[in-house]
Chain A
């Protein structure tokens, strides 16, 4: 148990965030066919628009971007939140909720996602060792196009517990 101590970042506790702060996260990720098809199938999302290239090409339905497999939106935005997670989630004890999730543009295999976060609000909450932070996360692609926005509320460790 002691071995697991001190293995996370020193600068991403409740005290380190301020409402209005905007963060550009360090890494991007190119969403591959492996990511989308593996995770879509693993969570048993049965919509074959995410894993049947043949049908998507044959039945192009006149919606721009929908003539090839679409990355399942839940995976796209999980990736965006993941890209923000080392900074805004490493000290999280409990994820509390999400709101106003909007998928602004389809994501395809080979697209690269980057994440930005704005700190919306901080609340003391009901325990001394952690507080509530509400974030707004944004995901953009390699063309600077907005693909995702949504809020997320977490219970985050304090560096120094308060009485």
Chain B
């Protein structure tokens, strides 16, 4: 009986696809990525401690205040990874390894409790002879704060799967 339910689901369900492929990235296309994310003290301390990032600006509010910050500073690598994470469904979830990042600038320190958003533009794409089923795409991604001010930006390059 339970197997009948699974067989029925397999027969009737239509995939709700996520992600894009190489052909979806004409140069100049822009993406306003989903959700936004409030970076909490819990996120920050967990990230800084699991990655062994021993700068007390990220884990000791007493030290952060003594150094001129009103709150714990968000570990910049958490900021980068969160902006990157929110861009993944639109840019790279369709399959293909992450190759590199260039020209990353942190425009200001972000404090715990702030909310960040992400957006991207396609800046280059090309084929690759060694892997005909993939192409190489480069995006410019911007992370912004709640007022739209730039907090981080970078160029990212990925191998991206082509449509079959």
Q: What is the CB-to-nearest-CB distance from A47 to chain B, in angstroms, rounded to a whole number?
A: 5
| CB proximity of A89 to chain B, nearest CB, Å | 5
Binds A, one of B2-10, B20-28, B86-94, B121-129: B86-94
Contact B81–A74 (Cβ < 8 Å): yes
Cross-interface CB contact of A89 among B54, B67, B93, cutoff 8 Å: B54
Q: Number of B residues contacting the other chain (C-beta, 8 Å)?
A: 47
**Once the chains are docked, how many angstroms separate the CA of A75 from the CA of B51?**
8
Q: Are B52 and A43 in contact (CB under 8 A)?
A: no
Q: Name the CB-closest residue of A to B92.
A: A47
Q: Is the CB of A42 within 8 A of B46?
A: yes
Partner of A97, one of B47, B63, B81, B106: B106
Interface residue? B114 (CB, 8 A): no
In whole angstroms, what is the CA distance A3 to B66 when docked?
10
A22–chain B nearest beta-carbon distance, Å: 20
Q: A83-124, CB under 8 A of B: which get 1 and which 0?
A: 101100111111111111111001000000000000000000
Query: How many residues belonging to A are interface residues under a CB distance threshold of 8 Å?
Result: 51
B50 at the interface (CB under 8 A from A): yes
**Which residues of the partner chain B approach A29 to less than 8 Å between Cβ atoms?**
52
The answer to whether B37 touches A44 (Cβ under 8 A) is: yes
A44 near B86 with CB under 8 A, answer yes
Chain B residues, Cβ within 8 Å of A39: 46-47, 50-51, 81
> A86 to B111, alpha carbons, bound, how many Å?
21
A97 touches B104 (CB 8 A): yes
Most buried by B among A5, A85, A94, A106: A85
- Across-interface contacts of A74 in B (CB, < 8 A): 77, 80-81, 84-85, 98
When C-beta atoms are compared, the residue in chain B nearest to A32 turns out to be B50
Given the complex of chains A and B, what is the CA–CA distance between A49 and B84 in angstroms?
A: 15
B50 near A85: Cβ-Cβ < 8 Å: no
Would you give the shortest CB distance from B51 to chain A, in whole angstroms? 4
A99 to B153 CA separation, bound complex (whole angstroms): 11
Is the CB–CB distance between B92 and A97 below 8 Å?
Answer: no
Check A96/B51 contact, CB under 8 A, given A74-B81, A103-B98.
Answer: no
Q: Are B105 and A97 in contact (CB under 8 A)?
A: yes
Closest Cβ of chain B: how far from A109's Cβ, in Å? Answer: 14
- Are A4's CB and B52's CB within 8 A? no
Known: A63-B97, A96-B105. A44 touches B55 (CB 8 A): no
A-B contact pairs, 14 of them (CB 8 A): A1-B62, A3-B62, A7-B63, A43-B37, A44-B37, A44-B85, A45-B84, A46-B85, A46-B88, A46-B89, A75-B51, A89-B53, A98-B154, A101-B100
B interface, CB within 8 angstroms of A = 18, 35, 37, 43, 46-48, 50-57, 60, 62-63, 65-67, 76-78, 80-82, 84-86, 88-89, 92-93, 95, 97-106, 109, 154
